[in-house]
Protein backbone atom coordinates (compact mmCIF):
# COMPACT_ATOMS: atom_id res chain seq x y z
CA UNK A 1 0.00 0.00 0.00
CA UNK A 2 3.03 2.30 0.13
CA UNK A 3 2.91 3.13 -3.58
CA UNK A 4 -0.82 3.84 -3.43
CA UNK A 5 -0.33 6.20 -0.48
CA UNK A 6 2.36 8.14 -2.38
CA UNK A 7 0.11 8.50 -5.41
CA UNK A 8 -2.79 9.56 -3.22
CA UNK A 9 -0.61 12.14 -1.43
CA UNK A 10 0.51 13.53 -4.81
CA UNK A 11 -3.10 13.82 -5.93
CA UNK A 12 -4.05 15.65 -2.72
CA UNK A 13 -1.11 18.06 -3.05
CA UNK A 14 -1.96 18.78 -6.70
CA UNK A 15 -5.63 19.24 -5.86
CA UNK A 16 -4.79 21.74 -3.10
CA UNK A 17 -2.54 23.66 -5.49
CA UNK A 18 -5.28 23.73 -8.11
CA UNK A 19 -7.81 24.98 -5.56
CA UNK A 20 -5.43 27.76 -4.50
CA UNK A 21 -4.98 28.87 -8.13
CA UNK A 22 -8.72 28.79 -8.82
CA UNK A 23 -9.42 30.69 -5.61
CA UNK A 24 -6.93 33.41 -6.51
CA UNK A 25 -8.36 33.72 -10.02
CA UNK A 26 -11.93 33.90 -8.66
CA UNK A 27 -10.87 36.64 -6.26
CA UNK A 28 -9.28 38.57 -9.13
CA UNK A 29 -12.41 38.22 -11.26
CA UNK A 30 -14.58 39.36 -8.34
CA UNK A 31 -12.40 42.42 -7.67
CA UNK A 32 -12.34 43.35 -11.35
CA UNK A 33 -16.11 42.97 -11.63
CA UNK A 34 -16.70 45.06 -8.53
CA UNK A 35 -14.49 47.84 -9.88
CA UNK A 36 -16.13 47.67 -13.32
CA UNK A 37 -19.52 48.17 -11.67
CA UNK A 38 -18.15 51.12 -9.71
CA UNK A 39 -16.69 52.57 -12.92
CA UNK A 40 -20.06 52.22 -14.66
CA UNK A 41 -21.78 54.01 -11.76
CA UNK A 42 -19.24 56.83 -11.93
CA UNK A 43 -19.74 57.13 -15.72
CA UNK A 44 -23.49 57.40 -15.07
CA UNK A 45 -22.90 60.19 -12.56
CA UNK A 46 -20.64 61.98 -15.06
CA UNK A 47 -23.35 61.78 -17.72
CA UNK A 48 -25.93 63.12 -15.26
CA UNK A 49 -23.68 66.08 -14.40
CA UNK A 50 -23.00 66.77 -18.09
CA UNK A 51 -26.76 66.90 -18.74
CA UNK A 52 -27.08 69.38 -15.87
CA UNK A 53 -24.37 71.55 -17.45
CA UNK A 54 -26.32 71.43 -20.70
CA UNK A 55 -29.51 72.55 -18.93
CA UNK A 56 -27.68 75.41 -17.22
CA UNK A 57 -26.14 76.48 -20.52
CA UNK A 58 -29.55 76.37 -22.22
CA UNK A 59 -31.09 78.54 -19.47
CA UNK A 60 -28.25 81.03 -19.84
CA UNK A 61 -28.54 81.23 -23.62
CA UNK A 62 -32.33 81.22 -23.97
CA UNK A 63 -33.50 83.06 -20.86
CA UNK A 64 -30.43 85.16 -20.10
CA UNK A 65 -30.16 83.73 -16.58
CA UNK A 66 -26.71 83.87 -15.00
CA UNK A 67 -25.88 80.20 -14.33
CA UNK A 68 -22.10 80.54 -14.21
CA UNK A 69 -21.90 79.50 -10.54
CA UNK A 70 -23.96 76.35 -11.16
CA UNK A 71 -21.93 75.51 -14.26
CA UNK A 72 -18.64 76.00 -12.39
CA UNK A 73 -19.82 73.74 -9.56
CA UNK A 74 -21.01 71.03 -11.97
CA UNK A 75 -17.73 71.20 -13.93
CA UNK A 76 -15.76 70.78 -10.68
CA UNK A 77 -17.90 67.75 -9.79
CA UNK A 78 -17.33 66.24 -13.26
CA UNK A 79 -13.59 66.80 -12.91
CA UNK A 80 -13.55 65.01 -9.54
CA UNK A 81 -15.66 62.13 -10.91
CA UNK A 82 -13.31 61.75 -13.88
CA UNK A 83 -10.31 61.62 -11.53
CA UNK A 84 -12.05 58.89 -9.53
CA UNK A 85 -12.89 57.02 -12.74
CA UNK A 86 -9.24 57.18 -13.83
CA UNK A 87 -8.20 55.73 -10.48
CA UNK A 88 -10.71 52.87 -10.72
CA UNK A 89 -9.62 52.12 -14.31
CA UNK A 90 -5.97 52.14 -13.24
CA UNK A 91 -6.82 49.65 -10.50
CA UNK A 92 -8.58 47.41 -13.02
CA UNK A 93 -5.46 47.59 -15.20
CA UNK A 94 -3.30 46.68 -12.18
CA UNK A 95 -5.45 43.63 -11.43
CA UNK A 96 -5.15 42.60 -15.08
CA UNK A 97 -1.38 43.15 -14.88
CA UNK A 98 -1.52 46.03 -17.34
CA UNK A 99 -0.50 49.67 -17.30
CA UNK A 100 -1.01 52.70 -19.52
CA UNK A 101 1.68 54.14 -21.71
CA UNK A 102 2.31 57.70 -20.48
CA UNK A 103 2.70 58.92 -24.06
CA UNK A 104 -0.14 57.30 -26.05
CA UNK A 105 -2.21 55.89 -23.14
CA UNK A 106 -2.40 52.42 -24.72
CA UNK A 107 -2.87 49.48 -22.34
CA UNK A 108 0.26 47.36 -22.32
CA UNK A 109 1.68 44.52 -20.18
CA UNK A 110 3.03 45.76 -16.85
CA UNK A 111 6.51 44.30 -17.40
CA UNK A 112 7.04 46.08 -20.76
CA UNK A 113 10.09 48.29 -21.08
CA UNK A 114 8.79 49.94 -24.24
CA UNK A 115 5.25 50.67 -25.43
CA UNK A 116 4.04 48.13 -27.97
CA UNK A 117 2.08 50.85 -29.79
CA UNK A 118 4.20 54.02 -29.90
CA UNK A 119 7.61 52.68 -28.84
CA UNK A 120 8.03 55.08 -25.90
CA UNK A 121 10.51 54.00 -23.23
CA UNK A 122 8.79 53.16 -19.95
CA UNK A 123 10.34 53.65 -16.52
CA UNK A 124 9.85 51.05 -13.80
CA UNK A 125 10.38 53.36 -10.79
CA UNK A 126 7.35 55.56 -11.31
CA UNK A 127 5.17 52.55 -12.07
CA UNK A 128 5.56 51.00 -8.61
CA UNK A 129 4.85 54.24 -6.75
CA UNK A 130 1.85 55.06 -8.92
CA UNK A 131 0.50 51.51 -8.61
CA UNK A 132 0.46 51.63 -4.81
CA UNK A 133 -1.21 55.05 -4.74
CA UNK A 134 -3.76 53.90 -7.31
CA UNK A 135 -4.67 50.80 -5.32
CA UNK A 136 -5.19 52.79 -2.13
CA UNK A 137 -7.29 55.45 -3.84
CA UNK A 138 -9.28 52.85 -5.82
CA UNK A 139 -10.41 51.12 -2.63
CA UNK A 140 -11.38 54.48 -1.12
CA UNK A 141 -13.35 55.49 -4.23
CA UNK A 142 -15.07 52.09 -4.45
CA UNK A 143 -16.20 52.32 -0.83
CA UNK A 144 -17.48 55.87 -1.34
CA UNK A 145 -19.37 54.84 -4.49
CA UNK A 146 -20.97 51.89 -2.70
CA UNK A 147 -22.02 54.17 0.17
CA UNK A 148 -23.54 56.64 -2.32
CA UNK A 149 -25.51 53.87 -4.04
CA UNK A 150 -26.84 52.59 -0.70
CA UNK A 151 -27.85 56.13 0.29
CA UNK A 152 -29.56 56.71 -3.06
CA UNK A 153 -31.45 53.41 -2.74
CA UNK A 154 -32.60 54.44 0.75
CA UNK A 155 -33.90 57.76 -0.59
CA UNK A 156 -35.74 56.03 -3.44
CA UNK A 157 -37.27 53.54 -1.01
CA UNK A 158 -38.31 56.36 1.32
CA UNK A 159 -39.89 58.27 -1.57
CA UNK A 160 -41.81 55.15 -2.56
CA UNK A 161 -43.11 54.60 1.00
CA UNK A 162 -44.21 58.22 1.59
CA UNK A 163 -47.09 58.22 -0.99
CA UNK A 164 -48.32 54.87 0.30
CA UNK A 165 -48.37 56.17 3.88
CA UNK A 166 -50.20 59.34 2.76
CA UNK A 167 -52.79 57.24 0.93
CA UNK A 168 -53.24 55.05 4.02
CA UNK A 169 -53.78 58.13 6.20
CA UNK A 170 -56.36 59.53 3.76
CA UNK A 171 -58.15 56.20 3.69
CA UNK A 172 -58.20 56.11 7.50
CA UNK A 173 -59.80 59.57 7.65
- Identify the DSSP state of 113: S
Q: What integer pLDDT is reported at residue 102 of this predicted model?
A: 86
* pLDDT tens, N- to C-terminus, the chain (173 residues): 577 788 888 888 888 888 888 888 888 888 889 999 999 999 999 999 999 999 999 999 999 999 999 999 999 999 999 999 999 988 888 888 888 888 898 989 988 889 999 999 887 655 555 556 556 666 676 677 666 666 666 665 666 555 656 655 665 55
Instruction: Please tell me the total count of domains within the chain.
Output: 1
Residue 67 lies in a domain: yes
5 within some domain: no
Q: Is 121 helix (H, G, I), strand (E, B) or coil?
A: strand
Q: Are 138 and 35 in contact (CB under 8 A)?
A: yes
Residue 87 belongs to some domain of the structure: yes
* pTM, to two decimals: 0.61
Q: Do the domain assignments include residue 1?
A: no
Tell me if 76 is assigned to some domain. Answer: yes
- Residue ranges making up the domain that contains 90: 15-172
- Chain-centroid distance of CA 43 in Å reads 9
Question: pLDDT value at position 163?
Answer: 60
- Indicate whether 37 belongs to any domain: yes
66 within a domain of the structure (yes/no): yes
Phi, psi at 114, each rounded to 5°: -130, 150
Residue 90 falls within a domain, yes or no? yes
Amino acid sequence: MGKFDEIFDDVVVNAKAAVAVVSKKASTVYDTSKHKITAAEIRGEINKKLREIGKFTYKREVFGVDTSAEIAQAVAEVRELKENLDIINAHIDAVRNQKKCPQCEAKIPRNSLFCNICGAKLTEDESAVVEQAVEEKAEEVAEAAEAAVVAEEAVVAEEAVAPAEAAAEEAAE
